[in-house]
């Protein structure tokens, strides 16, 4: 009976993948035909313009991505053994007082891309939105791409680094976690609840097995199909990366969830090659999305097994540094944000956290917003309409 159920589940998963590829192929084919017609018409009417378009296009796509923080900041010195895994950036400025408020620490996603998604552009900056609301003492983590030398970094190592940073900042912070940075923040809050003044989680898979998103489908399919409940598959990935999860594998995985998005990006660029705004947006996305960063292999295998596959954080079974963690130990204000169009983290995976913390209901704030995944952290409308009031509310809890 169980094997029949597994076969049915696997078949459903495979059918969904084939359907997605067929639908993507149709979408991309339609756009490719439009691009071909555009190029052919341009060849007949203005071959010189077509030549410039082609030359500018190829120059743009061969230029390597260059991630760059957009807001002035200073690099805070950390112990040498930490600097191979993380950096601490201080965005505090003299224009907004910082001494009278609890510091805020942002943990960006750690999913194969650069951390500057938290400061994506001058008008799409999460750290600036938080700071301009009055949270003047503003800090952000930058995850460093893993190497063979740091491939054995563990979740305990990250907890130790974060604890050291919070102690440096005075012993208590407003913790803001985006996606993977969100469940790291939740783990830290469960381990050290007295060091977290407020906790804000956006697009993070806290209850990973909730909902029916593509990642949970994939993880469950692999668990049914590969030895050791799927872990053999992930160990092979890490072995292929020489002890790390190659960031390009992560980027490839995200592309396969929506196969049309990569060719659409490049076809759209070609169609609008002489539109300065379109080229700027392409460069911004390329500099973040296409700049792959590796994840420590030991850490990656741990999180897949314990957080994704077995969902231990939400069940109160997660053990970190010899301690069994319970989200109910966190009792301070909690801010939760999910995106209605988020295909990476279905909103239920983050919003369900309200049922497991010890925070009083009147201090839990939930936001279900019209955004996709990365729009939760850098969408211009979401930063203005949601993160600004969240930041002001955090400020009311943060006066020293």
Q: What is the pLDDT of residues 209-253, one digit of tens each?
A: 998 888 998 899 999 999 999 999 999 999 999 999 999 999 888
Q: Helix 2-45 and helix 261-271: axis angle, to 10°? A: 10
* pLDDT band (50, 70, 90) for residue 26: confident
Give me the mean pLDDT over the 118-126 stretch: 96
- The domain limits of the chain are 74-208+328-396
Question: Which residues, 6 or more positions from 358, have their beta carbon under 8 angstroms from its beta carbon?
Answer: 327, 328, 329, 330, 331
Q: How far apart are the first and last CA of the chain?
A: 60
Mean of all residue pLDDT scores within the chain:
93
Question: Which residues, 6 or more positions from 225, have their beta carbon under 8 angstroms from its beta carbon?
Answer: 10, 233
Range 100-114 burial, b when 16+ CB lie within 10 A, else e? ebbbbbbbbbbbbbb
Decide: helix, strand or coil at residue 97: coil
The pLDDT assigned to 78 comes to 97
Read off the DSSP letter of residue 252: H
Q: What is the pLDDT of residues 78-110, one digit of tens each?
A: 999 999 999 999 999 888 878 889 999 999 999
CATH class of the domain defined by 74-208+328-396: alpha beta
Which residues are 75's β-sheet partners?
89
Q: What is the pLDDT of residues 333-357, one digit of tens each?
A: 999 999 999 989 999 999 999 999 9
* Residue 2 pLDDT exceeds 50: no
The pLDDT assigned to 99 comes to 86
Identify which of 173, 147, 141, 144 has the alpha carbon closest to the alpha carbon of residue 76.
141
* Residue 290 pLDDT exceeds 50: yes
What is the residue whose two structure tokens read 């995850």? 143
The pLDDT assigned to 117 comes to 96
21-27, long-range: CB < 8 A, 24+ apart: 21/259, 23/260, 24/258, 24/259, 24/260, 25/259, 25/260, 27/260, 27/264
Q: How far is the C-alpha of 319 from the C-alpha of 187, rounded, in Å?
A: 10
pTM value?
0.91
* Residue 35 pLDDT exceeds 60: yes
CA distances from 304 to 32, 46, 58, 153, 176 (A): 37, 54, 38, 15, 22
Q: What is the pLDDT of residues 141-189, one digit of tens each?
A: 999 999 999 999 999 999 999 999 999 999 999 999 999 999 999 999 9
Output the six-digit token pair for 373.
Answer: 């995944």
Please answer whether residues 153 and 142 qualify as being in contact, where contact means their C-beta atoms are separated by less than 8 angstroms: no
Least confident of 18-22, 27-31, 42-46, 377-381: 18-22
Q: How far is the C-alpha of 142 from the C-alpha of 137, rounded, in Å?
A: 17
Residue 101 phi, psi dihedral angles, 5° rounding: -125, 155
The pLDDT assigned to 1 comes to 34
The pLDDT assigned to 258 comes to 81
Q: What is the pLDDT of residues 196-210, one digit of tens each?
A: 999 999 999 999 999
């Amino acid at each position: 009976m169980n094997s029949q159920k597994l076969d049915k589940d696997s078949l459903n998963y495979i059918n969904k993948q084939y359907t997605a590829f067929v639908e993507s192929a149709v979408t991309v084919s339609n756009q490719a035909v439009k691009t071909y017609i555009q190029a052919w018409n341009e060849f007949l009417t203005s071959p010189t313009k077509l030549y410039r378009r082609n030359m500018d296009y190829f120059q743009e796509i061969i230029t390597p991505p260059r991630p760059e923080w957009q807001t002035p900041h200073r690099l805070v010195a950390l112990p040498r053994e930490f600097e191979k895994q993380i950096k601490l950036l201080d965005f505090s400025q003299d224009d907004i007082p910082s001494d009278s408020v609890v510091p805020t620490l942002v943990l960006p996603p750690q999913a194969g891309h650069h951390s500057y998604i938290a400061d994506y552009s001058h008008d799409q900056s999460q750290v600036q939105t938080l700071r301009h609301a009055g949270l003047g003492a503003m800090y952000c983590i930058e995850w460093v791409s893993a190497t063979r030398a740091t491939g054995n970094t563990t979740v305990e190592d990250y907890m130790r680094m974060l604890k050291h940073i919070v102690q440096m900042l005075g012993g208590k912070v407003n913790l803001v976690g985006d996606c993977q940075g969100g469940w790291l923040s939740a783990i830290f809050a469960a381990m050290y609840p007295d060091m977290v003044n407020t906790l804000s989680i956006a697009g993070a898979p806290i209850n990973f097995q909730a909902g029916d998103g593509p990642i949970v489908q994939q993880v469950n399919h692999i668990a049914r199909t590969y030895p050791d409940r799927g872990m053999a598959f992930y160990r092979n990935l890490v072995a292929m990366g020489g002890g790390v999860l190659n960031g390009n594998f992560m980027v490839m995985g995200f592309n396969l969830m929506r196969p049309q998005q990569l060719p659409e990006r490049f076809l759209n660029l070609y169609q609008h090659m002489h539109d300065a705004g379109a080229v700027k947006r392409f460069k911004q996305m390329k500099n973040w999305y296409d700049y792959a960063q590796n994840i420590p292999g030991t850490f990656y295998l741990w999180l897949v097994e314990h957080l994704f596959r077995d969902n231990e954080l939400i069940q109160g079974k997660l053990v970190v540094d010899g301690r069994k963690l319970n989200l109910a130990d966190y009792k301070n204000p909690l801010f939760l944000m999910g995106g209605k169009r988020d295909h990476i983290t279905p909103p239920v995976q983050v919003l369900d956290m309200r049922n497991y913390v010890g925070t009083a209901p009147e201090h839990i704030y939930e936001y279900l917003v019209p955004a996709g995944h990365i729009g939760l952290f850098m969408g211009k409308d979401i930063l203005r309409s949601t993160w600004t009031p969240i930041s002001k509310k955090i400020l009311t809890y943060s006066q020293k």
